Amino acid sequence: MKRKFNRIFLVLSGIFIMILAVSSLVMVLFFPELLSFGTSDNSEATRELFAMDTYITMTAYGRDVETAVSEAADKLTELEQLWSVTEPESEIYAVNHSNGQAVSVSSETEDLLSFALQMAEETKGALEPTIYPVLTAWGFTTEENRVPSDSEITELLKNVGYERVHMEDGSVWLENGIMLDLGAVGKGYAGDLAAQILRDNGITSALLDLGGNIQTIGKKPDGSFWKLGLQDPFSEGTLGILEISNKAVVTSGAYERYFIGEDGKRYGHIIDPVTGYPAENGLASVTVIADEGRLCDALSTSLFVMGADRAMEYWQLHQNFDMILITEDGEIYLTDGIADMFTLDSYHSNMKVNVIEDE
Amino acid sequence: MSKQKILMIICVVVFLLGIAGSILVLLTPHGTQVNIVQDGIVLYTIDLTTAQDQTLEIEYKGRTNIVQIENGRICMLEAECPDQTCVHMEWLDSSAMPIVCLPNHLSIEYAEAEDDVDAVIR
Amino acid sequence: MNVRKLTQLAMLTGVALIIFVIELQIPNPFPIPGVKLGLANIITVYAIYRYRAKEVMMIVFCRIFLAAMFSGNMMALVYSFAGSILCLTGMLGLRKIIDMSHIWISSIFGAILHNIGQISIAVLVMGKGILVYFPFLLVSGCFAGAFTGICAQLFIKRKTDDIRYD
């Protein structure tokens, strides 16, 4: 009798557990649907275009979103015509080919240039808007890569120096031999201006992807953060996810564009203005997160040139941005402001993560 | 209730959890992105819908695995390993069943749904 | 340890190895890494209920090492070792609680612990992605454990002599 009772008890408990398991399974499977209620009457617009030497995608949500996105796209195309180094119609081209004559420029170019010069000053020349001739010698502007000789680089470096760019009352002139290229900050600035147009049109949620430079407005329409994958500098995939809102993010790394020289060595496209050679200091990539795209763009390049130690010093001094440094040895350094916003994906969970704190 | 009975119930629970977990994993939708991973490092990310028919050779400590992609499917064609489990697994068809070659530390698996990333910072 | 005991242990190791080699020849209907019947573990379960902890370990570790050499799959050694250590610890603890007529329960636990040990190593080697196999290993562990457990139980029942952990 007792045995029989026990068996019944066992069967009953088995059935109970089975029901529990099945119901929790059903819950888990349908939970996402329960959560995602339809969002408000926001409409969505996406625009893709090729400008600023890169592929741009804009996605915005809100009322009148089509007009807003069109205006932003027009602005980007217009800015490209102002800032291209190679287009003979551009303002930068005019400045570069005026033989030292003062050229009057638009207010956008003036703002961009004064920002670039100010950042060059602040980074002690790690950001160098006049590095173009050296970049060309390495072939990074023409895709005909080669390793220039030491003497050639020394010669070219004589014509590099942001102090020799002069600006007054909306006119710009360069000292002899200087070439201006605002590529290192132009994309970020263009993103800022495009985002500003969207904001002026009442857009409260948008994502601008300027060839990997990301600019976000507000949060996603459902109120969650934008989820951005961070490129793994060592492979094709992503390394982790960064969740942000209302910020711009830019990454610089030699992995973006490089060539293998005849000596088998890898040469990256970010040139150290002091040596004239590709920056090589143990960093694989630098990601900067800040309110403005122009700051991100300028800092990601210059911090990459500085190397990890000087980049951290720079952050301690300014602290108006956050950054993620990835070293060639596969270590990650991130500032404590975004430490909670960044998660490594499961493939990279064994990478060492160091949080940089305010000293 | 004897200890033995408790243990028996634990067995049942583990078994049912296993079944529930298996169902959950089998039902997990997967995209078309496939990662080829070695020692936890993604070697290749392949979009099966656009990938051309090809074979990839991947080496591990002198032993070679050959991965085949054909008609939007992927499998391990050959493996220089003693157990050949990965070759017998045939085409990759579920995110629950990555093709794994334990001796050569290699696995072919569906990428976690890429859709939840809004953009990639490059 | 006397010669009689040593011979018994050696015999058991040999039998386990033969079973292992025979199982290698049977094609696995479930080509999932880590999923197999593990018939050689009949001997393990039997030994756990017949011999001292130290002696069981001798049988199992010798068998694992030789099996890896026979199958030419030295990589499997790490996985087997991790699984076996967990499995033996668990089963040696459980043999005090679970009596002779419920060996299959103990064996299921052993199988599950074995799988947990293996997958832990696999996670270390291959990354977390491999964890999706875990539920399948649990289910297969239950079946394989119950099967080997029942085999061992029948085996022990045939032996009329009293069971002592001597």
Interface test with A, best of C105, C128, C138, C139 (most A CBs within 10 A): C128
Amino acid identity of A135? L
User: Is B119 contained in some domain?
Assistant: no
- Same domain? B23 vs B35: no
* CATH code linked to domain C3-158: 1.10.1760.20
Confidence of residue A32 (pLDDT cuts 50, 70, 90): very low
Neighbours of A4 (CB within 10 A): 8
- Same domain? B55 vs B91: yes
Distances (CA, A) of A209 to A50, A193, A247, A275, A358: 11, 14, 12, 32, 31
Identify the CATH number of the domain in which residue B50 sits. Answer: 2.60.320.10
Distance CA B6, CA A5 (A): 15
Which residue is closest to A17 within chain B, CA to CA? B13
- DSSP states of C82-129: HHHHHHHHHHHHHTTTS-GGGHHHHHHHHHHHHHHHHHHHHHHHH-GG
**What is the sign of the dihedral through the CA atoms of C56, C61, C66 and C67?**
positive
- What is the edge-to-edge ordering of all strands in the sheet holding A171-174? A103-104, A171-174, A165-168
**DSSP 3-state assignment of B115?**
helix
Q: What is the pLDDT along chain C (166 residues), one digit of tens a residue?
A: 688 888 989 999 999 999 988 888 887 777 677 788 888 889 989 888 888 889 999 999 999 999 888 887 777 788 888 899 999 998 888 888 887 778 888 899 999 999 999 888 888 877 776 777 888 888 889 989 989 988 888 888 776 455 555 4
- Same domain? B18 vs B56: no
Q: Is B6 within 8 Å of chain A by CB?
A: no
Q: How many domains does chain B have?
A: 2
Mean pLDDT within A161-174: 91
pTM for this entry? 0.60
Distance CA A183, CA C147 (A): 69
Mean pLDDT within A105-127: 93
What six digits make up the tokens of C45?
């379960």
- Same domain? B23 vs B38: no
- Same domain? B23 vs B42: no
- Considering only CB atoms, C132 lies closest to which of B98, B102, B103, namely B98
- Same domain? B20 vs B36: no
Minimum distance, in Å, between the CA of residue B62 and any CA atom of chain C: 14
Domain positions in chain A = 1-36, 225-359
- C-beta separation of A116 from A182 below 8 A: yes
Number of A–B residue contacts, CB under 8 Å = 88
- Contact yes or no for B42 and A209 at CB 8 A: no
Confidence of residue B108 (pLDDT cuts 50, 70, 90): confident
Element spanning C145, H or E: helix C134-158
Neighbours of B79 (CB within 10 A): 24
Confidence of residue A39 (pLDDT cuts 50, 70, 90): very low
The angle subtended at Cα A289 by Cα A200 and Cα A186, nearest 5°, is 60
Domain positions in chain C = 3-158
- For the cut 50, the answer to whether the pLDDT of residue B12 exceeds it is yes
**DSSP 3-state assignment of A309?**
helix
- Considering only CB atoms, C126 lies closest to which of B3, B19, B40, namely B40
- Same domain? B97 vs B48: yes
Chains with 3 or more CB pairs under 8 A to chain C: A, B
Which residues are bridge partners to B74 per DSSP? Answer: B69
For residue B10, give its domain range.
1-30
Q: Is the ipTM of this complex over 0.85?
A: no
- For the cut 50, the answer to whether the pLDDT of residue A41 exceeds it is no
Confidence of residue A23 (pLDDT cuts 50, 70, 90): low
- Same domain? B53 vs B8: no
Minimum distance, in Å, between the CA of residue B13 and any CA atom of chain C: 11
* Beta strands at A226-231 and B119-121: parallel, antiparallel or unpaired: parallel
Distance CA C34, CA C6 (A): 31
- Contact yes or no for C33 and B21 at CB 8 A: no
Minimum distance, in Å, between the CA of residue A238 and any CA atom of chain B: 8
Minimum distance, in Å, between the CA of residue A33 and any CA atom of chain C: 23
Minimum distance, in Å, between the CA of residue C127 and any CA atom of chain A: 6
Number of B–C residue contacts, CB under 8 Å = 105
Q: Which CATH class is domain A225-359?
A: alpha beta
- Same domain? B53 vs B21: no
**Per residue in B84-104, pLDDT tens?**
778 877 788 776 678 888 778
Distance CA A31, CA A80 (A): 47
- Contact yes or no for B9 and A13 at CB 8 A: yes
Chains with 3 or more CB pairs under 8 A to chain A: B, C
Which residue is closest to B105 within chain C, CA to CA? C126
- Same domain? B21 vs B35: no
Q: Is A8 within 8 Å of chain B by CB?
A: no
**Per residue in A71-105, pLDDT tens?**
999 999 999 888 988 888 899 999 999 988 899 99
User: Is B118 contained in some domain?
Assistant: no
